[in-house]
Amino acid sequence: MAVLSGQMVKMSCEAHEHPLVNYQWFKMNKEVPHGNTSEIVFNPVQVQDSGHYICRINNDHSFDFSDWVQLDVQESNLTCHGIPDNKLHIHTQPQAQRLLLSDRLVLECTAIGKPLPCYQWYRNGLALKDETNRMFRVSSVSFEHQGIYHCKVTNGKETEESISVEVVILEELISDGLAIAELGDEELFATDKVALLIGNMSYKHHTQLKAPMVDVYELTNHLRQLDFKVVALLDLTELEMRNAVDEFLLLLDKGVYGLLYYAGHGYENDGNSFMVPIDAPKPYRSSNCLCVQSILKLMQEKETGLNVFLLDMCRKRNQYDDTILIPESLKVTANIVFGYATCQGAEAFEIQHSDIANGIFMKFLKKRLLEEKKITVLLDQVAEDMGRCQLTKGMQALEIRSSLSAKRALTDPIRQSACSPTSLARNLQWAKAHELPESMCIEFDCGVKITLGFAAEFSNVMIIYTRITEKPSEITQCTASITDFPLALYVEPKDTNKCTPEETGSFLVSKDLPKHCLYTRISSLQTLKENMILTVYLTYTYQGIDDPLDERKTIDVGKPLISKLDIHSGIRNFCAQTCPLPHSLCNSPEYAGAGSHQAFTSSRYTPPHAHLNVYPQQWRQYTQLESYQQSMNWRASNSMNSPDSQSRFLSESIKSKNVPEESTDEYCNLGPSL
């Protein structure tokens, strides 16, 4: 039988001559949970319930099997009321299409009913040989595929015919050297949606930022509502960024929508945008950074359906990078969209209010991201919204660069083959990077039981919480904490086992965590090289005894979240992958001698902990705006300041071997150049 998701489905099997028998239902060769009665009910039925079912009947002497039953469940977001039970009914009708030569043709006709419907497609009234599936596909159309199509559906008892639709094949018309084609509206879809979000804040040698953590968190939540598989990472070194991009590329495939968001320090030279890792030296050059255009070229090789880059960073020129790039030509794919937080040669701002900071770009983007509009139209409206912001008027304006021809939107539906090997591999890889340890119940010799729970704030940031769930009545006081963290994580003991998530620096997920626990925030999980081994330390006091007692238990929580992918590990041939252009480490002039040593060792730094409320005073420069009572920082390094400060750094650099110095004694009208 074929049904829609959300309906109620009942399958029954009865033994008439032997009433005292046992039943067991199977889906293929696996037992159906709780399927030990004469009937099984799915209410509501889900797409994952599709499959072949059989019932085994047995008593003490013999057994027998029923006939196989195939259940086909079609996805539906519509109400199922008013659809007659078991009656043959065409649910999805084919749609007329206007295509160019070599385009892909897909017609769909979906029916429900009992018994299972059979399909036959027709063109111009003639049955098409071997076209007996609900989907009719042609990978590359020619003029012979033009015509009137319809589908006949039968289940042995009834017959239904779909509506007839016209498929028109157009040839490009050449006029004044321009290709002109008439194309009708067609439903666009993605084979999957994947996003990599990177927020760099805790820079070792440059001004620290505040907003990327909140921006990445909010964008993650919005993209998940649009069915994106999201990998969200904070504070990555150069090596970790390159390896994270490699993992991102593994998730891409033909027709997949790929989105890369970056918030942090950056610069742009000669049209090439560079993302700055947290361990970049001072001054940094292209060999220390990641080039966005290099990543785009690799995404194109995956034949993605849409490539979106949202870059929330400064785009001033890096005067210390004199590398002349000769980039390889990009393919003409008509599916590229760049959304820059600011114009070429300008800074991008972040704005802080209370303990929460937002980039100006994200402040306006998040309000429109869920709208069902072509992505370029959506970004145009974000640009208009930003243009009305008095705070940054004349200093920051969204810039959009696009080659997108089709009306593709982030809200487009996902259609993929249920058993596609590439789809399965993609899902497995994504799930692997988001696997949390299971909650644990730990019992101590004294009778105290505690629960150890885990929550993900980002793909490389985890919250651990402990709660005492049971204690003997003779114990008057007890406390459970976690200690002995892996050295690779550089966890400060004073920042662990706090009474509220906010005390750990986690302002974003506190409302989703259980109350009355002790909380510890573990960041930079990508640096974890081995399983995370922790000690649960219990102190308790018996009634009438003043001296406290203690017990310890060692637990292994495995490698949580992104740590399973080992993106901290050595060079993964990233010269040939994420940076094939001349500015890569392999091709950089600095790769020989001392320059090589500096560029290579910079990727070894471990990022410091990114707590929202910790900003060393020597890095902070801001002016309170009387009208807004907020502080604003610029997302650029001190090696790329306003013209006055640039000339100051340039003159100083002659005296100090071309290395700019940090300054905390100058202010501008709105805020400093960072």
Q: Nearest to residue 113, comparing CAs of 93, 85, 133, 94? A: 85
Cα separations (Å) of 650 from 281, 557, 642, 647, 664?
17, 51, 12, 5, 17
Q: How far apart are CA 338 and CA 599, in angstroms?
A: 29
Contacts (Cβ under 8 Å, ≥6 apart) of 298: 249, 577, 578, 580
Question: What are the start-end ranges of the E strands in 302-355?
Answer: 306-312, 336-340, 349-353
Please identify which of the residues 265, 568, 609, 611 carries the catalytic annotation.
Answer: 265
Tell me the residue type at 602.
Answer: S
Whether 583 is catalytic: no
Q: Nearest to residue 150, comparing CAs of 120, 129, 170? A: 120
Q: Are the C-beta atoms of 274 and 289 separated by less than 8 Å?
A: yes
Burial class for 253, CB neighbours closer than 10 Å (0-12, 13-18, 19+): buried
Q: Are the C-beta atoms of 209 and 203 separated by less than 8 Å?
A: yes
Cα separations (Å) of 362 from 210, 217, 224, 359, 366?
13, 11, 16, 5, 6
Q: Strands 256-263 and 192-199, how do they pair? A: parallel
Q: How far apart are CA 267 and CA 286, in angstroms?
A: 10
Question: Sheet containing 229-234: which strands, arranged edge to edge?
Answer: 229-234, 192-199, 256-263, 306-312, 336-340, 399-402
Whether 81 is catalytic: no
Q: Are the C-beta atoms of 466 and 449 separated by less than 8 Å?
A: no
Q: Nearest to residue 319, comparing CAs of 668, 652, 666, 665? A: 652
Handedness of CA 328, 329, 333, 336 (dihedral sign): positive
The tally of CA atoms less than 13 A away on the side-chain side of residue 463 is 26
The tally of CA atoms less than 13 A away on the side-chain side of residue 317 is 8
**Residue 102 φ/ψ, nearest 5 degrees:** 75, 0
Please identify which of the residues 109, 151, 314, 517 carries the catalytic annotation.
Answer: 314
Q: Are the C-beta atoms of 208 and 615 separated by less than 8 Å?
A: yes
Q: Are the C-beta atoms of 113 and 136 separated by less than 8 Å?
A: no
User: String of b and e for 175-193 (b: at least 16 CB within 10 Å)?
Assistant: eeeeeeeeeeeeeeebbbb
Cis peptide before 283 (omega within 30 of 0): yes
Residues belonging to the active site: 265, 314
